[in-house]
Chain A
Amino acid sequence: MNDYNIREMIDNKKGRRSTMFIEKMVPIILLVITSVSVLTTIGILVTLLSETVMFFTRVSPIEFLTSTEWSAFSSDPEWGIFALIMGTLKITVIAVAFAVPIGLGAAIYLSEYASDRVRRIIKPILEILAGIPTVVYGFFALTFVTPLIRGIWPEVNLFNAISPGLVVGVMIIPMIASLSEDAMSSVPNSMREGALGLGSTRLETVFKVVLPAAVSGIMASIVLAVSRAIGETMIVSIAAGSTPNASLNIMESLQTMTGFIVQVASGDATYGSDVYFSLYAVGMTLFVFTLLMNVIAQWFSRKFREEY
């Protein structure tokens, strides 16, 4: 066997200079890459703000905020964002009212009752459910859920708030279930044992000990889900219709903020028209709503982390 002198070979490999150059460059390159995420936020803000300002040079902000009618395509257009917000609100309320009890029930089952094996089967299924494209959910709402609802209540329109609302609910169930389950699982077992040791049933332990202890984590999951529901686009574009109105009627056609953006974008609004700029004003409103929800959710989850 040849005897190589490794010490010397290493000393002779004085390729150190290029190594050191790479060493100096890498953090700079990575910092530049990292700045893209900040630039994206700035890009979103600048884009939305500047075009929204353009919109308000044409349309009075007072009309935008106070009118209750939105008719962008009529010859005498009305620009009351309230009508679109009501549309978003109707969908969101139905979705959340449907998803929160079911999502929480599932979270409780998975965290407190299910065996490891059941959990290993159910969790991937929830992930698949969360991964289904929203355009597919939209198709499902229009071709399956809506006919089903109209079979029960014939007075419901083809486009309505109930069907897309429920399907948006289905879409956010996995989010509520898995994030709430995470929150409940991180409640220390000693707390459960304390309650069970005093003769509480599982159920009483859940409601009197686990849920109160995990409440800020659960709230975070619900607020995040609300944010997702507000920003959801394809389901409502396909199944909710395109007639903005500020009524509380959930059986008739409506339009959400996201639905309006899609309608304008797929209809090729002329660049520079009022309708074109209204895209950004609506986008800005949507952005503010979801940002608010995200900030609240972060506040809750920070609070939850501090507790444990």
Chain B
Amino acid sequence: MELINKNEIGKKLSGRLLLNKSMKYIFLLCTLVGLVVLATLLIDTIIDGWSYLTTDFFTNFSSSRPENAGIKGALIGTLWLMATTAPIAIILSVGTALYLEEYAPKNKITDFIKINISNLAGVPSVVFGLLGLTLFVRMAGLGNSVLAAALTMSLMILPVIVVASQEAIRSVPSSIREASIGMGATKWQTITRVILPASLPGIITGIILSLSRAIGETAPLVVIGIPTILLFTPTGVFDTFSALPMQIFSWVKMPNPEFQSITAAAILVLLFILFLMNSVAIYIRNKYSKRF
């Protein structure tokens, strides 16, 4: 009496192998969905918007007449926003990461700060908009200025840069830290001369990636009340401004079908900027990864 019927197993095996093989292709198909959607989105947008990418498009301000509409105000506004957001976000986030990795004592308060940061990362951007509206626009009296928007954006991307910087700092081997301290360097000298230079590629990658998230972020700007039709560019951080994603959002809602193409053209510009930033980040990451 055999407990295992070898023939049965043999018969079932071919079915199992067939299932194995076919499921492999189904998984591959799932992987390709993202690729296909990305390609469709890009091709569709290029077909719609390519012919509208003229010099006038870059030098004209926004307009309610499609033939005159351009992105000058929005593009320059976005650059202002990024140039103001970057230093604020970098100081806040890298400072926080340094404190948590290098100075923070191991206690409940530090644990709380860490949990708090990972919870902040999950707060929807529109809620950050509400915070910015109340705190910066109304209470601080900054109005819908570049600075109010930049402060809001900085707080929004803070958790991402903090986590990326923490990882980069942690990846510096402690043997190098010991070498520096062992030569009589102080803690801060060790941080500025050894640890930060060694973790810089990781930190920069994190900064660029989160700035590229901020650059396309629309919801907080809408909530803060950034105008969409503006016939001047800001001259300082207290001026009001417009931004590319805001411009896109306002054009999407236009009933005139010609605006669809203009929207697509603006999207192409935005995607190009993002593509550029991401390429730089990926280049830095690949060039400097695996050094230790």
A102 contacts B by Cβ under 8 Å: yes
In the bound complex, how far is the Cα of B124 from the Cα of A122, in angstroms?
Answer: 27
Other than A139-B45, A265-B133, A295-B119, give 8 A-B pairs with Cβ distance below 8 A: A29-B95, A36-B92, A139-B264, A140-B44, A142-B252, A231-B122, A261-B223, A279-B130
B263 contacts A by Cβ under 8 Å: yes
Q: A22-B188, A30-B95 are in contact. Are A124 and B103 (CB under 8 A)?
A: no
Contact between B162 and A233, CB atoms less than 8 A apart: no
A252 contacts B by Cβ under 8 Å: no
Those 8 A-B pairs whose CB atoms lie nearest each other, nearest first: A133-B216, A231-B124, A105-B30, A33-B95, A109-B27, A294-B122, A30-B99, A201-B20
Contact between A36 and B123, CB atoms less than 8 A apart: no
Most buried by A among B124, B125, B275: B124
Q: Which residue of B lies closest to A137 (CB)?
A: B41
B33 contacts A by Cβ under 8 Å: yes
Contact bitstring B47-72, A, C-beta under 8 A = 1, else 0: 01000000000000000000000000
Contact between A173 and B159, CB atoms less than 8 A apart: no
In the bound complex, how far is the Cα of B28 from the Cα of A293, in angstroms?
Answer: 30
Q: Which residues of B contact A30 (CB under 8 A)?
A: 95-96, 98-99, 103
Q: How distant is A180 from chain B, measured CB to nearest CB, in Å?
A: 11
Among the stretches B110-118, B173-181, B233-241, the one at the interface with A is B110-118
Q: How distant is B268 from chain A, measured CB to nearest CB, in Å?
A: 10
A287 contacts B by Cβ under 8 Å: yes
Q: How distant is B28 from chain A, measured CB to nearest CB, in Å?
A: 5
B219 contacts A by Cβ under 8 Å: yes
| From B33, B123, B128, B212, contact of A131 by CB (8 A) | B212
Contact between B34 and A125, CB atoms less than 8 A apart: yes
A280 contacts B by Cβ under 8 Å: yes
Q: Which residue of A lies closest to B94 (CB)?
A: A33
Q: A133-B216, A133-B245 are in contact. Are A266 and B222 (CB under 8 A)?
A: yes
In the bound complex, how far is the Cα of B131 from the Cα of A230, in angstroms?
Answer: 18
CB<8 Å pairs between A and B, sample of 12: A23-B186, A34-B96, A37-B162, A47-B134, A102-B30, A103-B30, A106-B34, A135-B216, A138-B249, A144-B44, A174-B34, A261-B223
Q: Which residue of B lies closest to A174 (CB)?
A: B34
In the bound complex, how far is the Cα of B133 from the Cα of A142, in angstroms?
Answer: 28
Contact between B223 and A262, CB atoms less than 8 A apart: yes
Q: A23-B186, A102-B33, A136-B270 are in contact. Are A37 and B135 (CB under 8 A)?
A: no
Q: A129-B34, A136-B248, A287-B123 are in contact. Are A265 and B274 (CB under 8 A)?
A: no
Q: Which residues of A contact B24 (CB under 8 A)?
A: 109, 113, 202-203
Contact bitstring B165-196, A, C-beta under 8 A = 1, else 0: 00000000000000000000011110000000
B260 contacts A by Cβ under 8 Å: yes
Q: How distant is A95 from chain B, measured CB to nearest CB, in Å?
A: 13
Contact between B20 and A258, CB atoms less than 8 A apart: no
Q: How distant is A99 from chain B, measured CB to nearest CB, in Å?
A: 10
Contact between B20 and A203, CB atoms less than 8 A apart: yes
Contact between B116 and A37, CB atoms less than 8 A apart: yes
